[in-house]
Amino acid sequence: MTDIARLAGVHVSTVSRALAGSPLVEAGKRRRIVQLAREHGYVVNPVARSLRLQRTQMVSVAIPLQHEAGQPLTDPFFVAMLGHLAEAITQRGYGLNLQKVVLPTHEWLAEIIASGRSDGVVVIGQSTEHDTLQQVAAAYLPLVVWGAQIPGQRYCTVGSDNPGGARAAVRHLLKAGRRRIVFLGDPTGPELRQRYEGYERALREAPRGTAPPRRVSAHLTPDAAYTAVCECLRAGDRFDAVFAASDVIAISAIRALVNEGRAVPQEVAVVGFDDISLAAHTTPSLTTIRQDVEQGARTLVDLLFRRMEGEETPSVVLPAELIVRESAPG
Amino acid sequence: MTDIARLAGVHVSTVSRALAGSPLVEAGKRRRIVQLAREHGYVVNPVARSLRLQRTQMVSVAIPLQHEAGQPLTDPFFVAMLGHLAEAITQRGYGLNLQKVVLPTHEWLAEIIASGRSDGVVVIGQSTEHDTLQQVAAAYLPLVVWGAQIPGQRYCTVGSDNPGGARAAVRHLLKAGRRRIVFLGDPTGPELRQRYEGYERALREAPRGTAPPRRVSAHLTPDAAYTAVCECLRAGDRFDAVFAASDVIAISAIRALVNEGRAVPQEVAVVGFDDISLAAHTTPSLTTIRQDVEQGARTLVDLLFRRMEGEETPSVVLPAELIVRESAPG
DNA sequence: ATGAAAGCGCTAACAA
DNA sequence: TTGTTAGCGCTTTCAT
């Protein structure tokens, strides 16, 4: 900037003002300075700017992942969320600082905040970190979390209507005449727990003769789900429908079923959760509960910026919609 | 830091040294200071540190995306790459600054660099930006690119053996007796172009009676590929195998084929490219060319850090391996 | 082994 | 309207 000032024959402060578009500096001079800066490929140093302004124009996006579950950063839903967050954050002229958090880690959130690398934090997925979030949120406002809303929660979440979505999925299966519906997935973390609860509730409301809730445990990875379903089938388990906690494991479940000689959807219907972009394109295509990632991301960012301004924002629950496709026709 | 200094009854410079683990400061005092910092949840301000040190401990990861192609940041391969990059970068104590670049944008790379937000840049995918990269690389060393190696290229790439992988895919199909093999995808960008070239070459080397190269154009999105394959079938096109430029479009192709009444793999075999995590779990599971994302990411980061130290590193081509599954059995 | 002081590049309160 | 100046929080050279 000193260089530009010298070239323009003015003081740095004038350059600073000109580049900030201040009306204080004479229009002609301002244009000349801006032009000069462009010619020389000069852009203001955001580090120095941040130090001076005490704000970084950065948002941290933290993704807590269970190490033991081997959960990679490749879950398509999280990733779609990340993409849309990048979009929304960039649109506001902010940068995105990506933090992959491998649990269990001590004080990960406090450290992200204390480091001052960002003006606000988005956490994608509560995972098992409800307590951490509770604690940190007490003293730090600009924090929003994608996830489930939990009674007594003190932090701000945006998330889908997990129980409602799950219930809609199971009711759809019941209406199609299915009576032995298993839940595939591990209800670790509030979101999946709520999906399980929705599943249970729908079964409680089911016609007589419907089999009671039954869970097939599996981490949210393709391999885990595949293995779990195979074992279950070989153990002679009988069911005519699967409600999977996510699309990724629903797809694995279909493969396991077909490989073990069960026709999908004729013998076993499958419903997933998320509506990832591939869901419409698998064979058979996947009946699922859509979470609107794009709106979710926009809402998260919107709330975050309001919190960055000091506003106390409430949590938001977005509708989750049943999408009927081939794996569980109507 | 001033606070910690006051609490410890020493000068800030001593605290700075202590926290940096300098041997200059007396061991006992150092421990006391470190302890004090931890108790008070103090961590050094990386912004101030960056300004002073003239390095940010940050790496920018830029993902150029074609706007017109509607290509989202959700391509599973890119995303897996991003995850592994996050891993490798974090391991070295650096942060990751994610930049989604929507093309065409003017000077995107120059701006990322000039902004000084990071000490090095990883670009995932050359896309149509070969010229930009050539130009920038002339004056900026700490830059690595995931993509194809191009004759006359002046920047450092890491990428798979695209022609070799494509050739292996087509030879596999030929060996299985397929003679009318179409290429599905749009060879925009060097990587896909090289895959197409490998396809062409394998066909030139094919037995007599093999149909000549034939391309079905489609952007790398599920919808585009689905539509393209359907139209092609309805137009009465005849083929017994598809080599798709990516797994995502291979999966869509399978769905289109099945929906139009073609058995996969009996009537039409399908081979993809990437080996995304879902490829093993679709129905039928996908024969594909594996790109080793993890090694790719590690190599990129390794080369980047060497470049950040001033070393001129050469480009690297990684092997691409044929994985035979159900969609195109041996 | 520790303290004093300068300065990284920028912005803004104040002065002119 | 522009310039002067102080200071954001840190590291490091120099002096002690």
pLDDT tier for residue B201 given thresholds of 50, 70 and 90 = very high
Helices and strands, counts by H and E, chain B = 12, 12
pLDDT tens for each residue of A88-119? 999 998 999 999 898 888 889 998 998 889 99
Instruction: Measure the CA–CA gap between B251 and A306, rounded to whole angstroms.
Output: 41
Confidence check: pLDDT of B232 > 60: yes
List bases, strand C, within 7 Å of protein CB: 1-5, 7-13
pLDDT (mean) for A305-316: 96
Residue B16's domain comprises 2-44
Burial of A201 (0-12, 13-18, 19+ CB in 10 A): middle
pLDDT tier for residue B70 given thresholds of 50, 70 and 90 = low
User: Which 3-state string (H, E, C) describes B1-60?
Assistant: CHHHHHHHCCCHHHHHHHHCCCCCCCHHHHHHHHHHHHHCCCCCCHHHHHHHHCCCCEEE
* Percentages of chain B per state (helix, strand, coil), in multiples of 5: 45, 20, 40
Confidence check: pLDDT of B73 > 80: no
| Residue in this structure with the two tokens 């990516």, named with its chain if needed | B246
* Strands, sheet with B215-216, edge to edge from the N-terminal-most edge strand: B215-216, B181-184, B241-244, B269-274, B287-290, B321-323
Q: Which two tokens stand for residue A106?
A: 């001590």
pLDDT tens for each residue of A164-218? 999 999 999 999 999 999 999 998 889 999 999 999 999 999 999 999 999 999 9
Task: Note whether A127 and A233 are same-domain residues.
Answer: no
- The pLDDT, as a whole number, for residue B72 is 62
Q: Do B62 and B113 contact (CB within 8 A), yes or no?
A: no
Contacts of B310 (CB under 8 A, 6+ apart): B141
- The pLDDT, as a whole number, for residue A5 is 93
Interface residue A111 vs chain B (CB under 8 A) = yes
Task: Note whether B184 and B270 are same-domain residues.
Answer: yes
pLDDT tens for each residue of B261-297? 999 999 999 999 999 988 998 889 999 999 999 999 9
- The pLDDT, as a whole number, for residue A220 is 86
All residues of chain B having their beta carbon less than 8 Å from the beta carbon of residue A252 are 281
Task: Note whether A143 and A62 are same-domain residues.
Answer: yes
Compute the nearest-CA separation of A199 from chain B (Å). Answer: 25
Instruction: Measure the CA–CA gap between B282 and A330, rounded to whole angstroms.
Output: 23
Measured from the Cβ of residue A276, the count of other Cβ atoms closer than 10 Å reads 28
Residue type, B314: P
Asked which of A88-97, A268-277, B7-16, B97-106 is least confident by mean pLDDT, the reply is B97-106
- The pLDDT, as a whole number, for residue B79 is 84
pLDDT (mean) for B6-31: 94
Task: Note whether A117 and A39 are same-domain residues.
Answer: no
Instruction: Measure the CA–CA gap between B303 and B298, rounded to whole angstroms.
Output: 9
Instruction: Measure the CA–CA gap between A251 and B86, rounded to whole angstroms.
Output: 27
Interface residue B329 vs chain A (CB under 8 A) = no
Q: How large a percentage of chain B has pLDDT more than 70?
A: 98
Task: Note whether A145 and A167 are same-domain residues.
Answer: no
- The pLDDT, as a whole number, for residue A211 is 97
pLDDT averaged over every residue in chain B: 94
Furthest CA-CA distance within chain A: 88
**A51 to B47: CB separation less than 8 angstroms, yes or no:** yes
- The pLDDT, as a whole number, for residue A72 is 62
pLDDT tens for each residue of B166-200? 999 999 999 999 999 999 999 888 999 999 999 99
Q: Which two tokens stand for residue A1?
A: 């900037």
DSSP A247-299: HHHHHHHHHHHHHTT--TTTT-EEEEEE--GGGGGSSSPPEEEE--HHHHHHH
> DSSP letter at A69?
T
Residue to mutate among B38, B40, B45, B47, with most A CBs inside 10 A, is B47
Instruction: Measure the CA–CA gap between B121 and B59, rounded to whole angstroms.
Output: 6
Contacts of A84 (CB under 8 A, 6+ apart): A293, A294, A296, A297, A298
- The pLDDT, as a whole number, for residue A294 is 95
Distance A46 CA to C9 C1' (A): 9
pLDDT tier for residue B222 given thresholds of 50, 70 and 90 = confident
Interface residue B99 vs chain A (CB under 8 A) = yes
A180 found inside a domain? yes
Whether the CB of A176 is less than 7 Å away from nucleic strand C comes out as no
Whether the CB of A14 is less than 7 Å away from nucleic strand C comes out as no
Residue of B134, B136, B118, B44 whose CA lies nearest to B305: B118
Q: Do A16 and A53 contact (CB within 8 A), yes or no?
A: no
Task: Note whether A197 and A213 are same-domain residues.
Answer: yes
Residue of B308, B293, B301 whose CA lies nearest to B92: B301
Q: Do B62 and B122 contact (CB within 8 A), yes or no?
A: yes
B324 found inside a domain? no
Which positions 251-280 of B are in contact with A (Cβ < 8 Å)? 251-252, 254-255, 258, 264, 277-278, 280
Confidence check: pLDDT of B69 > 70: no
A263 found inside a domain? yes
Distance B326 CA to C6 C1' (A): 69
Confidence check: pLDDT of A267 > 70: yes
More confident residue, B201 or B69: B201
Number of domains observed in the structure of chain A: 3
Q: Do B241 and B180 contact (CB within 8 A), yes or no?
A: yes
**B222 to A76: CB separation less than 8 angstroms, yes or no:** no
DSSP A39-51: HTT----HHHHHH
Task: Note whether A89 and A32 are same-domain residues.
Answer: no
B50 found inside a domain? no
pLDDT (mean) for B158-162: 98
B189 found inside a domain? yes
Instruction: Measure the CA–CA gap between B143 and B58, rounded to whole angstroms.
Output: 13
Q: Do A272 and A287 contact (CB within 8 A), yes or no?
A: yes
Instruction: Measure the CA–CA gap between B244 and B256, rounded to whole angstroms.
Output: 13
Task: Note whether A178 and A276 are same-domain residues.
Answer: yes
- The pLDDT, as a whole number, for residue B4 is 93
pLDDT (mean) for A64-76: 72
> For chain A, how many residues are written?
330
Instruction: Measure the CA–CA gap between A158 and B255, rounded to whole angstroms.
Output: 34
Instruction: Measure the CA–CA gap between A208 and A222, rounded to whole angstroms.
Output: 34
Task: Note whether B269 and B304 are same-domain residues.
Answer: no
Instruction: Measure the CA–CA gap between A6 and A298, rounded to whole angstroms.
Output: 43
Instruction: Measure the CA–CA gap between A280 and B248, rounded to whole angstroms.
Output: 12
Interface residue B110 vs chain A (CB under 8 A) = yes
Task: Note whether A170 and A287 are same-domain residues.
Answer: yes
A328 found inside a domain? no
> For chain B, how many residues are written?
330
Task: Note whether A92 and A40 are same-domain residues.
Answer: no
pLDDT tier for residue B68 given thresholds of 50, 70 and 90 = low
**C-alpha dist (Å) from residue A159 to A195, A268, B135, B190:** 12, 30, 44, 40
More confident residue, A48 or A277: A48
Q: Do B1 and B12 contact (CB within 8 A), yes or no?
A: yes
- The pLDDT, as a whole number, for residue A73 is 72
- The pLDDT, as a whole number, for residue B7 is 93
Confidence check: pLDDT of A70 > 60: no
Task: Note whether B285 and B299 are same-domain residues.
Answer: no
B51 found inside a domain? no
pLDDT (mean) for B73-101: 89
Q: What's A85's domain CATH number? A: 3.40.50.2300
Whether the CB of A19 is less than 7 Å away from nucleic strand C comes out as yes
Please report residues contacting nucleic strand D, using a CB cutoff of 7 A.
A 10-14, 17, 24-26, 29, 48, 51-52, 54; B 1-2, 12-13, 16-17, 19-20, 44-45, 48-49, 51-53
B127 found inside a domain? yes
Nearest to A97 among B97, B111, B258 (CB): B97
